[in-house]
Structure 1
Amino acid sequence: MTNEKIFSLLRTDPKFLDLTNEELAELISFCEIEKFDKINKIIKEGEFGNKFYFILEGEVGISKSISDEVIFFISSLKKGDFFGEMAIITDYPRSANAFAKTDVTVLSMTRDSLFRFKNEHPLAFGKFAFILAKTLADRLYKVEERIKNIIKASVISAIT
């Protein structure tokens, strides 16, 4: 996939509307293109990571290990979604597994690249940081809704 095609894909993504064409091109220049075959693990829960990923093509599954034998499927991510960003913002280990549900093409950015982008393009970085913050806030809201539904179900089953 060429940088021009990546630029076109990201330019049409509503998340990137606040970035100018020049800022978007600069952001892309700090990233790498990676491909993962169907079923391949991309991120392993508990490991320390230094990359995050933006899906250009394909579908990624996110799961959480409950025990050695039990894995809980959390969600499916598709073109335009991010994953792995918590590991480059914090020094915490990966909080979930990510695997290719189909053949996947991603744009990846390392922690070092993110900080170089921040130092060299502070205004564009600020806009990009807001995109990451909004993504995290949206996910937190969805998790809170799921927790609320689990609690409701627990209360109802305890009553009946």
Structure 2
Amino acid sequence: MKKLEVEQEDILKLMRHIDFFNSFTEKELLLFVGQSEVEKFMPGEEIIREGDEGYSFYIILKGSVAISKKMHLSSYSKKINELSRGQCFGEMALVTGKSRSANVAAKEETFVIKLDPYLVNRETDDSGLLSVQLKIYKNLSRELAEKLGKHSEIITLLL
């Protein structure tokens, strides 16, 4: 993993084309960027390890990742999903505070924006920050609901 010193305008250009940020104003995007980091991962590089503690949340700006889960009573991991530009991961740990529930590795050169939970969870009277927090949680709720729906379909097919 390599933390990147990327021009703010370059990050904003990428963010403007991602559905997660559609409802954000320019000021809110700037606040989000100011509280996050852009990281670059090479193919095969691990981003998240199942069982590790971690609270950051990631949105893929460019590239794709593979999600894998350790099989019960085995050291073998099975790929369970792939995510690409605009999709997010790490939201479960951000919301629940529990350890990571899966492995995530870059499939290709991948750029992510990493959000520290401090922005999302701190109490504030700043209306601009409150607006960003609300939009983050609203979008996280939508993402989690979509993932839950997909998992429900898979379970139904397996029954």
Distance in structure 1 (CA, Å) of the matches to 2:57 and 2:135: 17
State the 1:48 CA deviation.
1.2
Question: What's the secondary structure of 2:66's corresponding residue?
Answer: strand
Structure 1 length-normalised TM? 0.87
Cα distance in 2, alignment partners of residues 37 and 145 from structure 1: 32
Pair 1:62-2:67 in alignment: yes
Q: Take 2:92 and 2:75, find their aligned partners in 1: how far apart are those partners?
A: 25
What are structure 1's unaligned runs of at least 5 residues?
A: 152-160
Looking at structure 1, the residues matched to 95 and 155 of structure 2 have their Cα atoms a distance apart, in angstroms, of: 24
Query: Distance in 1 between the 2:62 and 2:22 partners?
Result: 20
Matched to 1:148, the amino acid is T
Indicate the percent of aligned positions where both proteins have the same amino acid: 34
1:142: which partner in 2? 150
Matched residue, 1:154: none
* Aligned-residue offset at 1:131: 0.6
1:72 — aligned with what? 78
Count of aligned pairs: 150
- Between the aligned partners of 2:32 and 2:90, the Cα distance in structure 1 is 17
Give, as a single letter, the amino acid of the residue that structure 1 aligns with 2:100: R
Query: Does the 8 A contact of 2:119 with 2:133 survive in 1?
Result: no
Match of 1:128 among 136, 139, 142: 136
Give SS of 2:138's match: helix
Q: CA deviation at 1:101?
A: 0.8
Q: Which of 39, 49, 54 is 2:44 aligned to?
A: 39
Larger radius of gyration: 1
Deviation at 1:133, TM superposition (A): 0.6
User: For the residues of structure 2 that align with 1:14 and 1:36, how far apart are their CA atoms?
Assistant: 22
**Structure 1 CA distance, aligned partners of 2:46 and 2:157?**
30
- TM-score, structure 2 length as denominator? 0.87
Amino acid at match of 1:77: L
More helix, by proportion: 1
Q: Distance in 2 between matches of 1:61 and 1:55?
A: 12
Question: 2:110 is matched with which residue: 98, 104, 113?
Answer: 104
1:16 aligns with 2:21: yes
